[in-house]
Every structure is written in structure tokens, then in C-alpha cells.
Amino acid sequence: MISVAEALDQLFVLAQPLGPEVVPLLEAHRRVLAQDVAATRDQPPFDGSAMDGYAVAEVAPGLRLRVIGESAAGHGFYHPVKSGEAVRIFTGAPVPEGAKAVVIQEDVSRDGDWITIGDSPEDNSHIRPAGGDFRVGDRIAAGRILGPNDIALMASMNIAQVSVARRPGVALISTGDELVMPGEIPGPDQIIASNTLGLHALMRDLGAEPRLLPIARDNEASLKTAFELARGADLIVTIGGASVGDHDVVANLAPQLGFEQSFYKVAMRPGKPLMAGRFGDAMMIGLPGNPVSAMVCGHVFIAPVIRAMLGLPAEPAPRRTGVLAEALPANGPREHYMRARTTADGLVAFGAQDSSLLSILGQADALIIRPRKDGPRAAGETVEYLPLR
Ligand code: AMP
Ligand code: MG
């Protein structure tokens, strides 16, 4: 059995970045920028007015000036303004040549074509210089996850389409004769496929494009069909059938259907019977079926894999440190991801940690990480955890 860290190392060997695609800027939100972008213009493109007022060549208390024209946003005034003159101007309008400042309209009294500057005009010029926001060629570097602010900036740079990392296509295959989909009527010995939908949501959050395949039944023909339907995926994720029981189809049958295994079994709790490798052109991860095991493996392994496929740094899920509000007993030989909640006093692990209890996972907002063979921990000690929200 390998450690979580070793498993991640092997997963990063399997998970190669997928390369870019070009999308319209409107579709770029939450995508990973794959190539630097550069501004195609200066912003503002001209010296612009920051206020409504009068553009003038000189400012002095009591100065009387003749208004020779008007410059509004989208309607510039393209004659020089000289000593003794003023141009009526509005926010966002080009400042005429020769103007040194914009006197705000509150500091001016107007009489027909004449204005008089008041007793104490502000000394702020209220002119936004050309290129004051950015200049042609200013860059946004590849590798960032684009958010609303980036989109606004790129729009201002007149970038209408961007090169982003292609979304990993993930085929999700649940296995089990006992499973039905939510909304269906289960038989007396059946349950509802749950982690399948949770993993689908997780992958969407991560920027992948998950696809739920029909549930594979616990026989070779059904699993084979599922793998055929998975064709074209960058990543195949199977759920369940990963242990060594008679009915564990993935562990028993996937190798003869084309699965080339890199590793099987990780020293962790929950989630021990994890496997990974390649299936044809795709990477494959076989998750244990227990609902919490599958979800924890999603956070610990699949999230970093998807990020690596998106060209983000290949690194484990980011950990935080927190203080224990209650003592914890010694840990066994497997790294333990304990469902816990964060409170004002610190982290509190739930008493029940069985890998089937989704209700506890639903209440948890943290997974406390207990290293292998970690000794007992007292309240007040610092531990590492994975935030779940
Ligand atoms: P398995 O790994 O197939 O032996 O499954 C372990 C446990 O997880 C069994 O109790 C299964 O019924 C359950 N299980 C397997 N797959 C799913 C799933 N997609 N959703 C919910 N429970 C599942
Ligand atoms: Mg099963």
C-alpha cells in the first residue's frame, strides 16, 4: 500500500495538461487562462475628464473665461483651448488640447457664454492621463483562473476572445446492482446512487466537464458497455467495485477490459481501495463505492488531478492549520481524513466516522488530516485540515 503523497505523485505523472482552446470572452469566466493576453490599446486612449466641469488653460480664483465649445463622452471637442477660454466638459470626454485642468462645475458660476471661477477652486486637475489605467502591450499572465474582474479588464483591453485550458471531459461510471438514480423507485434491496452526483458537482466546480454514464451492473458485459460509452473522455472515474469481493467488478474485470494499473490501494481512511492508471487514451481512477470514501477521494485526489489537467500547478489540495477544540485518540497506520466542523473554539471531529455516513459529511466543513500513526492529540494542539467550504 502506498501513501497519499505517493499516490498523488503517481496521479500527477498520469494527469497531463490538456492544451488550450479559444473561447469568446463571455465564456471565459472561471476558465484557466492558457496564453498571456496583451492590451491592444491604451486606456484611457486620450487625456480624459474625471468630472463634469470646464476644461481650462489656467485656473485662478475669480478668473472670467469665455466658453468656446463642449466636449462630452463620445463627442470630443477638437480645437485647442487658449488662455481666456473654457470648454464645457463631462466625465469621460477627451480633454481638449491646451487644457491644464478641469474646474468642477460646483466651483464655477456661469452667465451665458461666460464663466467665473469661484474663490477657492480645487487644485486637483481632474484629468485622467492617457494610458493611466494600462498601455498597449500590458499583459495578463497565463495560468490564472479568470474571474469577473479579469473579464472586465480584458474587455477594456479590447480582447474579445481568449485562449483557455480545455475542460477535462470526465466519464463517471457507477457500478452496482443495488444502485438506482435519484427519482427512480428502488427495489427492496436497492439504494440511490449518491456520490455519483456529488462527484459530478465537484467536477463542475473544478472546471471539468463531467458526464454521467448509465450505471454499470456488476457483470462484465455491463462494465464493458460503460467503458465503451466512456470513449473520448480525458478521465474515466469508476465508483464502487474496487475491493476484492466476488462482486467487485472494477477490481476483478477492468484489467482484462483494458485498464493498465499504476497503483492499487492507498494507506488512507476512508478510501483505501483506490486505483489509478490508464484506459486507452484516457487516465482512469477507480474510487471505492462507499459514499464518503468516494467524496473524500474526490477532494484529495480528483481535485488536484483536474487542476493539473487544466495546467494549474500539480500540487495537493491546499491544507490549512487549525486548533483542536477537543482531544483526539491516536491514529492507526493509515492517514485519516476525519469529518469535522470548525467552531469558534476550534475544530471538532464528529464522533461517528463510518465511511457510509453522508449525513455527517453534509454537516462537516473540514477534514482533519491525521498522519499515519499520529499519537493522541490534546485540545489546543494544532492540526492540518482540508477545508470543505
Ligand atoms: P463497493 O465498493 O461496490 O463494494 O461499494 C461499497 C459500498 O458503497 C456499498 O454499500 C455500495 O452499495 C455503496 N455504493 C457503491 N457505489 C455507490 C454510489 N454510486 N452511490 C452510493 N453508494 C454506493
Ligand atoms: Mg459494488
Residues with CB under 6 Å of ligand 1 are 174, 176, 178-179, 191, 193-196, 239-243, 248, 288-291
Q: What rounded mean pLDDT belongs to the chain?
A: 97
Per-residue pLDDT at 123: 85
Q: How many helices (H) does the chain have, and how many strands (E)?
A: 8, 26
Note whether 259 and 279 are within 8 A (CB). Answer: yes
Note whether 186 and 192 are within 8 A (CB). Answer: yes
Tell how far the Cα of 288 is from the centroid of ligand 1, in angstroms: 7
Which grid cell sits at 293? Answer: 470514501
Same domain, 178 and 284: yes
Residue 344 φ then ψ, to 5°: -60, -30
Residue 303 φ then ψ, to 5°: -60, -50
Tell how far the Cα of 305 is from the centroid of ligand 1, in angstroms: 23
Amino acid at position 158, single letter: N
Same domain, 248 and 353: no
Per-residue pLDDT at 336: 98
Tell how far the Cα of 286 is from the centroid of ligand 2, in angstroms: 12
* Ligand 1 mutation pick, 178, 238, 290, 357, max ligand atoms within 8 A of CB: 290
* Ligand 1 mutation pick, 172, 173, 175, 179, max ligand atoms within 8 A of CB: 179
User: Which stretches of the chain drop beneath a pLDDT of 50?
Assistant: none
> Over the stretch 93-110, which tens digit does the pLDDT of each residue have?
999 999 999 999 999 999
Same domain, 161 and 202: no
Per-residue pLDDT at 377: 98
Same domain, 261 and 181: yes
Tell how far the Cα of 176 is from the centroid of ligand 1, in angstroms: 7
Angle between helical axes of 220-229 and 249-257 (0-180°, round to 10): 60
**Residue whose CA is at the smallest distance from ligand 1 atom 14:** 289
Same domain, 183 and 87: no
Same domain, 192 and 303: yes
> Could you identify the atom of ligand 1 that is nearest to the CA of residue 245?
4
170: three-class secondary structure by DSSP: strand
Q: Would you give the DSSP letter of residue 301? A: I
Same domain, 228 and 301: yes
Per-residue pLDDT at 67: 98
**Which structural domain, as residue segments, surrounds residue 325?**
320-387
Same domain, 234 and 276: yes
Same domain, 106 and 76: yes
Ranges of beta strands (E only) in 47-106 are 48-49, 53-56, 64-71, 85-89, 101-104
Note whether 100 and 57 are within 8 A (CB). Answer: yes
What is the sign of the dihedral through the CA atoms of 382, 361, 9 and 320?
A: negative
Could you tell me if residue 341 is inside a domain?
yes
CATH number at residue 160: 3.90.105.10
Nearest ligand (C-alpha, residue 193): 1
Could you tell me if residue 359 is inside a domain?
yes
Q: Which residues crowd ion ligand 2, with CB under 5 Å?
A: 176, 240-241
